[in-house]
A and B are shown apart, each in its own frame.
Chain A
Amino acid sequence: MSNSHLFLKPGFIKVPLQNGVGRYVGQLQRVVLKFCKSSGSSRGMREFIEADLVDFAKNNPGIVVYLKPRRHRTAIIKAEYLNGDIQWLNCRNFTKDEITKWIDLLKTQQKNSTGMRIRKLWHTDNPSIQGPWTPFTFKDPKLNLAKFPDEELSTPDHLNRTSQDELVELFKQQKLEELEKCENVERINATN
């Protein structure tokens, strides 16, 4: 995510009205092409209207196309979607091909997609399959048969060894070594 996206409204990918579960409904409901009949900046729009518009309307009977000629104003495409969104596109000095591409984009998207930062490329309504955690969720089965009070279970899990314990262990080790030495000496004496 770059800095320019920081102030965009964040959101998730969402389908309106479970579109496509039953049948697919194109979400663009009407498109208004505004243009000037004489201005040079509307030239591409005029060419599009002359060459491609009839075919577009024939191929997409579900989209209502309106033409709105206005004197000396920039060419505009205004797309209205079924969920109430309106996308407004400035087409100043656009060529015919550019306009074809933009209209194709407007036709295939499901809403006004500008101004939203997609937080993640996936989304789920049910993030947890196991359900909420409770104190009994990952309980050790061994606890079912334990009898309380239990000395082992009563001690803390991670108890550091005290210096006294270490001393006791050292002392025991020393004793053992001494015992071994004595035994060795006895064994040597016996063989001799």
Chain B
Amino acid sequence: MSLFKPTFSVLRRCVALNVSIRTSESRSIKRWVAPTLKELYRRREKVGPEPEKPRSSYLEWNYEAEVFAFGKRLGEEFDRDILKKALIQKEYANIQEIKAKETGQNLPTITDNYELIPEGDGIISSYVMTELSKKYPEDIAKAVTNYLTSEEMLSYIASHIGLKDLILTNEFPVANSTLCNTFKAVVAALKQSQNLAQAEKFIHDFVLSQLNGKNVYEIWDPKEPYKYLTRLLHQRGIKEIEPRLCNQSASNTVLACFQVGLYSNRELLGIGWGESVHIAKDTAALDAIQRVYKNYTTQLENK
């Protein structure tokens, strides 16, 4: 659009002029105006939309101010140099070095976030795991930790705290893996700027809070629930499980529905339903697992 801006403003002035000099004989808008506008519109359509540009290429961009505001926005006191280091990707640093050599400048060597990434990764996964294992058994805690520390989740968080525009990298648009790595590096930078407790608080507020409104039993998905349940109950001294078909409805149609209950020693362990007996048995096993783990956590709390 910027290509045609001057032309459009000239045109607009012409149109305004024409409207103001209105006589009884002449047309208020000249005959050439509409075809010209149409032609300009056609050319604009032909060229297509302008490619997206990184925010840092705009005229109104001050990297120092952006980095300062980043820390303030999140309510954290970052060491400016460490934070800047955490935002520089290795590829970017390499290319800058090569450019400096070519032009013969003596720039100070740029340090990148390569070492900060594994450090931050370690802090995030260990803290999330310990926090979750306070409340959930190990299998679930592992699955939920994997979910929270996945590239998709971390890049989502990174882009929503405003890292997308700040990262110094060669690629545009910024890849998810880069966002994820930078988030890890920022956590490590926070630990180095302040202490581990502050970094953990940061993870608590931004990563763990993503579990709000989600069900862990939907995130954790055991492949074979019935086998898992038998193993689980075996550890707890229950050797025999008796699946019973409690109800069935419309069994030979597309709307078939079976209800299976799992019993042990005349006690109901779990109940579930599905469009076939096998599916119903699996849902019943999932229900039983949830009931077992509910008791498990309360037992832990009682201790």
Contacts and interface: CB of A to CB of B under 8 A. Distances in A.
Interface of A: 16-18, 21-23, 25-26, 29-30, 32, 61-64, 66, 68, 80, 82-84, 125-126, 134-136, 139
A32 B213 contact: no
Contacts of A139: 247
Given A64-B69, A66-B60, 19 more contacts: A17-B161, A17-B206, A18-B210, A18-B213, A22-B205, A25-B73, A26-B73, A32-B60, A61-B72, A64-B62, A66-B61, A82-B160, A82-B162, A83-B160, A134-B259, A134-B273, A136-B247, A136-B259, A136-B273
B285 interface: no
B197 interface: no
Q: Which of A16, A62, A66, A139 counts the most chain B CB atoms within 10 A?
A: A62
Given A29-B162, A64-B65, A68-B60, A18 B257 contact: no
B157 A135 contact: no
B69 A62 contact: yes
B295 interface: no
B174 to A, nearest CB: 12
Contacts of A17: 156-157, 160-161, 206, 210
Interface string B233-258: 00000000000001101100000010
Interface string B55-81: 100011110011011001111000000
A61 to B, nearest CB: 4
Nearest to B211: A18
26 contacts: A16-B160, A17-B156, A17-B160, A17-B210, A18-B213, A21-B205, A22-B205, A22-B208, A23-B205, A25-B73, A29-B162, A61-B68, A61-B72, A62-B73, A63-B73, A64-B66, A68-B59, A68-B60, A80-B55, A82-B161, A83-B160, A84-B164, A125-B213, A134-B257, A136-B247, A136-B273
B73 A135 contact: no
B65 A22 contact: no
Contacts of B66: 30, 64
B104 to A, nearest CB: 34
A82 B65 CA distance: 16
Nearest to A21: B209
A40 to B, nearest CB: 18
B160 A29 contact: no
A100 to B, nearest CB: 21
Nearest to B156: A17
Interface of B: 55, 59-62, 65-66, 68-69, 72-75, 156-157, 159-162, 164, 204-206, 208-210, 212-213, 246-247, 249-250, 257, 259, 273
A66 B160 contact: no
B178 to A, nearest CB: 17
Contacts of B213: 18, 125-126
A84 B73 CA distance: 16
Nearest to B60: A66
Contacts of B160: 16-17, 82-83
Contact of A25 (B59, B156, B161): B161
A26 B250 CA distance: 55
A26 B212 CA distance: 19
A22 B161 CA distance: 13
Contacts of A22: 204-206, 208-209
A139 B162 CA distance: 53
B68 A135 contact: no
A17 B73 CA distance: 14
Q: Which of B59, B72, B162, B250 counts the most chain A CB atoms within 10 A?
A: B162
B206 A62 contact: no
Q: Which of B68, B204, B208, B212 counts the most chain A CB atoms within 10 A?
A: B212
Nearest to B73: A62
Contacts of A82: 160-162
A63 B161 CA distance: 13
A22 to B, nearest CB: 3
B151 to A, nearest CB: 17
Nearest to B271: A136
Nearest to A33: B60
B75 A23 contact: yes
A45 to B, nearest CB: 15
A68 B62 CA distance: 13
Nearest to B61: A66
Contacts of B156: 17
Nearest to A34: B60
B212 A135 contact: no
